[in-house]
Amino acid sequence: MKVLVTGGAGYIGSEAVAQLCDAGHEVVVLDDLSQGHRAAVDPRATFVEGDLAERAPLRRTFAAHRPEAVMHFASQTLVGESMEKPFLHLGDNVRNGLNLLECAAEQGTRRFILSSTANLFGLPERVPIDETARIDPGSPYGESKHILERMLRWMDDRFGMRYAALRYFNAAGAASPDRGEDHDPETHLVPIVLQVALGQREQVTIHGDDYDTPDGTCVRDYIHIVDLADAHVRALHALDQGSRTYNLGNGRGYSVREVIEVAREVTGHPIPAVVGPRRPGDPAVLVAGSERIRAELGWAPRYGDLRSIVESAWAWHRAHPHGYADR
């Protein structure tokens, strides 16, 4: 299949591109490199530098490549920032998504995979969180993904565009020592902790230790990006049997303190930690119920334990202490 991957130079998208190429698909990456890295793009893929906000060049990309499927990773992604700048997130994510859907519909692209998020569930009523949980987004970022999910229902209804909405929990780990996480600013716990081990930060701040969890710190479900990308390829192959929505995580939660402790063991560095105030809107526990994708697509995480996730991330950060060093 010919697959257009938006955000394919980013952290998760670049691994999906590599796995699509491995599976024999022809891949076109569209990325404006605002956060992504040219060097992260698999050399087997065609790279187009472009911004989803610009409709005319986007239309030309569709006309030139005629993709049969789209994987849509490109996005404003910072949950905290979206509370400060709601128009940026709602505006960019919804407008750009709409541009993309319109071009896809016009060109007859009938398969679409969306990067959605656990932030759809805000402060969840119960864990694990499966697909039947009440949706009440925790931020303008989460709301923008919810709007995109809802638009996809109409794409299916009006154009027969089959979609998969994949709601990731916390993506982590590195696919190889040569391709990994390099965000600026970095907001994710695993890379922040490893930056302390590299001597690039003095300490890590724990945002609250008085939550109703075994050690008082927030519990999250970390999913390796290799497993995430694998879910995308499986979903793509299943789309002709109908649209679908999956919550994607390991189904196992680790606390902030556990992540720091595992990183200390893996790196041999003491990784100093201080406790700061809670962040508004942070739920105590976010753990995915992923039974549906396991049952329907035979998906199962290969890197389910935290240690292998942190080890793979450490291999990347140690080999590339300044990431792709292209800024």
**In 160-305, which ranges are continuous DSSP H helix?**
189-197, 225-238, 256-267, 291-297
Identify the residue among 4, 18, 62, 75 touching ligand NAD (CB under 6 A): 75
Query: Of 146, 114, 79, 56, which is closest to residue 236 (Cα–Cα)?
Result: 114
Q: How many CB atoms lie within 10 A of CB 311?
A: 18
User: Quick one: 56 or 274, whose CB is closer to ligand NAD?
Assistant: 56
Least distance CB 85 / ligand NAD (angstroms): 14
Q: Using CB under 6 A, which of 47, 62, 73, 299 touches ligand NAD?
A: 73
- Residues marked active site are found at 141
Q: Is 227 in the site for ligand NAD (CB under 6 A)?
A: no
Q: Work out how close the CB of 265 gets to ligand NAD at its nearest, in angstroms, rounded to a whole number.
A: 23
Task: Name which position in 22, 44, 53, 108 contacts ligand NAD (CB under 6 A).
Answer: 53
Q: Hey, which residues does 288 pair with through a beta bridge?
A: 129
Least Å distance between CB 19 and ligand NAD? 14
Of 73-81, 148-156, 208-216, 276-284, which segment contacts ligand NAD by CB under 6 A?
73-81
The contact mask relative to ligand NAD for 164-183 (x = CB under 6 A, - = no) is ----x-xx-----------x
- If the CB atoms of residues 36 and 208 are measured against ligand NAD, the closer one turns out to be 36
Q: How many CB atoms lie within 10 A of CB 274?
A: 9
Candidates 18, 20, 52, 152: give the one binding ligand NAD (CB under 6 A). 52
Q: Which is nearer to ligand NAD, 35 or 109 (CB)?
A: 35
Angle at 187 between CA 321 and CA 89, to 5 degrees: 130
Q: What part of residues 3-42 is at the interface with ligand NAD (CB under 6 A)?
A: 6-7, 9-13, 31-36
Give the long-range contacts of residues 182-186, CB within 8 A, separation 24 or more. Answer: 182/11, 182/37, 182/40, 182/320, 182/323, 182/324, 183/11, 183/35, 184/35, 184/327, 185/78
77 counts as binding ligand NAD under rule CB under 6 A: yes
From the list 61, 109, 117, 312, which residue makes contact with ligand NAD (rule: CB under 6 A)? Answer: 117
Beta strands in 20-104 (DSSP E): 26-31, 46-49, 69-72
Minimum CB separation from ligand NAD for residue 196, in Å?
19
How remote is the C-alpha of 231 from its chain's centroid?
12
Please give the DSSP secondary-structure letter assigned to residue 21. H
Residue 112 contacts ligand NAD per CB under 6 A: no
DSSP structural state of residue 119: G
Strand order in the sheet with 254-255: 254-255, 219-220, 285-286
d(CA 307, CA 271): 16
Confirm if 35 and 8 have CB atoms less than 8 A apart. no
144 binds ligand NAD (CB under 6 A): no
Which residue's CB is nearer to ligand NAD, number 53 or number 319? Answer: 53
The DSSP bridge partners found for residue 114 are 72, 165
Number of residues that bind ligand NAD (CB under 6 A): 27
Which residues contact ligand NAD by CB under 6 A?
6-7, 9-13, 31-36, 51-53, 73-75, 77, 96, 115, 117, 168, 170-171, 183
